[in-house]
Each structure stands twice: as structure tokens, then as C-alpha cells.
Structure 1
């Protein structure tokens, strides 16, 4: 079986951490590198979070690259509420240590992304779990980059006009709408989108979450620790917009994009259409508009995930916390 080559671009919060664990646990997958971007927290915390996940999973051979520290046009501060100020629930020690900097590659994430794709043309699956700033910068430096990818998987955007940080905008796209616009206009490779509403409509039970995190492994205990004091993982009724709109349950947002990349059969139905990201407006900035009737007159179509095989997906999540 041909080995799948993958690059993960992340703003590593708790759900990113689980998505990375999913990729690390998958058989016959080679992760060429993990590129870091601001988002859930600042980019230095993101780098440390990725290194911590790799250490827990005993996969420190995977290269980590520091990337964009802010959005392309408008300086937006990293979001430090949903998953804590450090992105991993504010429960880990050694945050004041400088030793992590020696483990980060000197090459900038954007340069690394361009190099790794060019070295493996037509073979790389790029999975993005945060704001799309690194990808937008990469296509400006190498306009032919998208055509050299095998495919692109994005967790971000929305399909019903519902938002989680604004009335109409999903977090990853809202944090850098210009970059999201560039990527969805200029990355003409096969593109698959796991929107916020899609992930919320395929939530899992808290009983499953407890079973998954109570396994007797270091990775499972790590997941249990980083979610232990995080309000986003609280079962109590509160201000979580996900619960208000879709009801209570556990959603590992970024893991859906990784799972779809690893096993396409997990996605049982997609909407194939053109999309465009809105960069203007007080309420609409960051909104992804879907165009099923071709009013935008765009030739490029993307696959917007609609339904998911939850049995397969939950089995993958469970297995990912059984390593090493």
C-alpha cells in the first residue's frame, strides 16, 4: 500500500491536539511536518503545544515549524478563551521554559510548506486546522503551489450561515478572512471542507468522551488532563453557542478534517459547489457563502462535507488514544 504523505497546519488548541493524535495513530501515514499558526493562542504557545503532543505520542521525529503570528491584513489577537490562554486548558507546567525553542526548526513554516510540497509533487495531502494565513502567504511566494498538492482538507467556514464567534462567521475564517478568501479562490486542487455546523451536527455523547479518556494509556490521560478545567468541555448548561444551537455533546472539531483525509469513506455525503469568503461587513466578515446554482460563475468546486459515518469516526478517535 502506498504511504500517504501529510502536512498539518495548526493553531494547536485541544481539538487540534486530538486531530494530530489521530494522524499520528494512523497506519501507513507519513507526516512530513507540522506548521504552526496563531489562532487559539499565540504562535509560540502553538509550537509548544504541538511539541507536547508529539512527546506524549512518542513521535518527536516529526518536524515542527513556526509560522504566522498574526493575520494577513488586520491584526487580530489570538483567541484565548475557548481552550484557555495557552490553548491546552492552562493545566500544563514548564510554560516558562525556553528549551522548546531548540526543538523548533529554523526554517519558517511558509518556506517549509513550499519546500515539502515541491519535493513531493502530487503526493501531499495538506490538512489545515486553524486560520489559513500560512497557506495564503505560501501561494503568494509560489503561485503554482496548489497545483502541486494531491488534495487539501480544511476545518473551517460555515454552510448554514451560523457562526461561533460572530453571528455569521466561524472562528478559523473570521480570524483571517483575507487568507481564507485567497485559499478558496486560488487553491484549485481537490478541496474538502469540514464546516463548523457539519462538525456540530455530528457530535458524540459525553459518555463516549468519558470512555475514550478513561483508557489506561499516556495519550488518553493527557487528553483527560487538558480538558479537565476547560469550560469548552463542561457538561453544565452555559454560554457555549454550540450547545445553544445544536444541543449538548462532545465535538472534536478539527478531528473531522483529519479523519476525512485518512479515510474518505467516513464522509458519506458532500455538497459539491463553488464557495466564496466574505471579507467585508460588520456581521458578515468571515462568512463562507455556498453557491450551488453557480451565480458566482466560478469553475472551481469544493466538497463541503454534509454527513459522516459516526461509527467509523468514533472508532478512529478511540483508537487514537490507545497509542503508543
Structure 2
């Protein structure tokens, strides 16, 4: 029996040493808040989140920063550095958005510019804030402070210290990445890869009465419009013309088959550590899992069931297609240094949800 225990101990030590020798995958999360996607990457044993940067999008950058800092405190990841990013898009603004709507029709979601839904929905109406309004979070305010450094500068410094090792998980508007590339023309070439949640090709409406289908209605008449890009089209186009070694786009196409249901919330909460579980249970269900798909396909590319490799750019003309995604096959591209990326079209939803639970399993 003693020999058996010794053998088990040796096997465990060898297994631990083998995994210790595998370097964790470095990632910077660039987003406009703190959500399930952050927890998936922070909790995964194979990932090292080397920093979180914030940007205005769903909410203003100062509010997003406060949410990230509090989320790190509550989840026990206080050592992760946080850098606040761009408050305003490169050119777009709330006034320009309202003028655009008067000319071309209502947007479904406007993020920080949002005051009300265009039609009744089951989702709550977000509070409207100004870009510099003080932040008072309902789940408490953080004692942690952000770095005294702009997000674009933090990205440049971190990538230069770890050339060709850092992935950027960009799940908000691309303002920070555009600014970083403008400040440092070598920045993009030193990044390992970028995973972008943004853009839209031809998402199909889910034919049921789930709340995810309510978001899918947006794409019936405007199949190329998506919020992260529409909030800052100029930054997105600047991103498209930068020399990234590898880009993966997760457009909204696969999201219409997903939903953060109450049952999934409870399943993931049961898999997580108690403080993380409490955070998950506070999340509002009923939304498609946009950012979570981006994290999932980076963690496990085998979850992708269909993708296309396309050339891409974005419409920056202030007309009805402002912010729309433009794509081409090889023979039709304009050849103006537009970007090339793998576009994720569908994913294995059941396997993805199981991968979420695996990522959230309590660490030893």
C-alpha cells in the first residue's frame, strides 16, 4: 500500500512539474466593463491576464474602470494591473449619433449614449450618465486604483516587454488599439495576436421567443452593423490597416444561437469559487454571449465549427452604412492595405458552455 502512495505522489509531482513547465498564455483584456468573459480568463489555469484596459463603449471609461477594479477585488485578483483608456471615440459623439438617427433610423443599442430602447424589451433600461459623472456602484466601490498611465501606453509598454507573447482580447470599441498603433508604429507587429469581438457578416435570427432573438432582429435589415464597431468606426478602420500578425474576429453571427440563461448562470456559479459564484449570480440573464464566445474560441479553437478567412475594413463615411463591416474574398479586395482575419461564423454552443464551467472550476 505504501508503494502505491509513493507511486501516486511521484505521478502527481511529475504531472505538476510538466504543467509548471508550460508557460501560461499572456493576454490583455480590453473592454468596457467587467463581465463573465473577464472571470473566464482570470480563473483559467492556462491563462495569465497581464492587464485589463478599459474604453468607453457600453458605458463611459471611468465607469468601466470602476467596475473592473471592484470586480477584481470581489474575485480575488487584486494584483492584475488596470489602465483606463479612451473616454471618447476618435470622431464619433453622442451629438453625431443623434443626428445620424434623425437621418437614417434608430440604433438598437447605443452604449454610453443610450437613454431608452426603441421598442419594449425584457432587458433593463440602462442608466444614462455623463462621461465625467462620479461613479457609485451598487455592489460597492473599489479601494483599488488604476495605474497612472493611459491604456494605450500600458499596452505599448507591456507588449514591448513581452514581444510576440501577448494576445489582446478586444471586446469593446477599438479606440485604445488604434491610439496605441498611432503612438508606436511597431506596436501591432509586436503583438502575438488579437481576438476581436465586433463586426457583423450575416447573422441569422433565432426562430424562437428568447430574448437573444430580440437582439437578432437588429440584423434582419442591417446585417453589417454591430455596436462595438459602430461606436467608433474610425478606430476600427485604423485597426484594419495595422500590421497585426494574426487577427480573429468574432462577429455577432455566432451569438444569435447563445444566451446567458438563468439555468446557465446557476450551472456556472456552481462550478466557480464562492466569491466568483456570487458575482455570476448577480449577472443579468437574457443577453447573447458576445464576449464570452471570443474568450472561448481563444481558449479552445476546436469550438469553432465554421469560419471564413476574409479581407476586411469598415465604412467611415457619415451615411446610412456608417460603421458597417466591409469584407472581400481574395479576388475582390481593393488592395489598400485592408486587414485579413479569420471570421468565426458558428460555434459548438454545448461544448462552449462546458468549457466555461471548466475554466471556472476552483483553482487548487
Decide: shared fold, TM above 0.5.
yes
Gapped regions of structure 2 (runs ≥ 5): 1-21, 95-110, 116-122, 130-135, 204-215
Contact 1:125-1:261 within 8 A present in 2 as well: no
1:280: which partner in 2?
A: 317
1:263: which partner in 2?
A: 300
Which digits, 9 at most, give the CA deviation of each residue in 1:265-316, with x for residues without a partner?
2223310010111111432111112212532234742000022122331012
Contact 2:201-2:325 within 8 A present in 1 as well: yes
State the 1:10 CA deviation. Answer: 0.7
**Larger relative contact order (CA 8 Å, sep ≥ 6):** 1
TM-score of the two chains, using structure 1 as the length reference? 0.82
In terms of fraction of residues, the more helix-rich structure is: 2
2:85: which partner in 1?
A: 67
Contact 2:67-2:137 within 8 A present in 1 as well: no
Which digits, 9 at most, give the CA deviation of each residue in 1:21-51, with x for residues without a partner?
0101111311111011011111111001111
Find the aligned partners of 1:288 and 1:51 in 2 and give their Cα distance. 32
State the 1:206 CA deviation. Answer: 4.9
Within 5 Å, give how 1:219-298 maps onto structure 2. 219-227=276-284, 233-234=285-286, 251-298=288-335
Find the aligned partners of 1:71 and 1:136 in 2 and give their Cα distance. 10
Find the aligned partners of 2:161 and 2:218 in 1 and give their Cα distance. 38
2:357: which partner in 1?
A: 318
Superposition CA RMSD, Å = 2.7
Shift of the 201–10 alpha-carbon distance from structure 1 to 2, 3 Å rule, reads same
Structure showing greater radius of gyration is: 2
Find the aligned partners of 1:253 and 1:5 in 2 and give their Cα distance. 21
Is 1:18 aligned to 2:36, yes or no? yes
Shift of the 79–209 alpha-carbon distance from structure 1 to 2, 3 Å rule, reads farther
State the 1:215 CA deviation. Answer: 6.0
Tell me whether 183-192 or 160-169 shows the greater mean CA deviation: 160-169
Contact 2:188-2:243 within 8 A present in 1 as well: yes
State the 1:79 CA deviation. Answer: 4.1
Shift of the 144–91 alpha-carbon distance from structure 1 to 2, 3 Å rule, reads closer
Shift of the 57–320 alpha-carbon distance from structure 1 to 2, 3 Å rule, reads farther
Shift of the 163–149 alpha-carbon distance from structure 1 to 2, 3 Å rule, reads farther
State the 1:214 CA deviation. Answer: 5.9
Is 1:43 aligned to 2:61, yes or no? yes
Shift of the 79–317 alpha-carbon distance from structure 1 to 2, 3 Å rule, reads farther
Find the aligned partners of 2:316 and 2:334 in 1 and give their Cα distance. 19
TM-score of the two chains, using structure 2 as the length reference? 0.73
State the 1:318 CA deviation. Answer: 2.4
1:194: which partner in 2?
A: 250
State the 1:74 CA deviation. Answer: 2.3
- Alignment counterpart, residue 47 of structure 2, candidates 12, 17, 29: 29
1:160: which partner in 2?
A: 202
1:57: which partner in 2?
A: 75
Tell me whether 69-78 or 53-62 shows the greater mean CA deviation: 69-78
Is 1:139 aligned to 2:181, yes or no? yes
* 2:282 alignment partner, SS class: helix
- Alignment counterpart, residue 127 of structure 1, candidates 161, 165, 169: 169
Find the aligned partners of 1:199 and 1:150 in 2 and give their Cα distance. 25
State the 1:86 CA deviation. Answer: 8.3
* 1:8 alignment partner, SS class: strand
Shift of the 164–32 alpha-carbon distance from structure 1 to 2, 3 Å rule, reads farther
Gapped regions of structure 1 (runs ≥ 5): 228-232, 235-249
Within 5 Å, give how 1:88-107 maps onto structure 2. 92-94=138-140, 100=143, 103-107=145-149
2:213: which partner in 1?
A: none
Aligned residue pairs, count: 295
Is 1:116 aligned to 2:172, yes or no? no
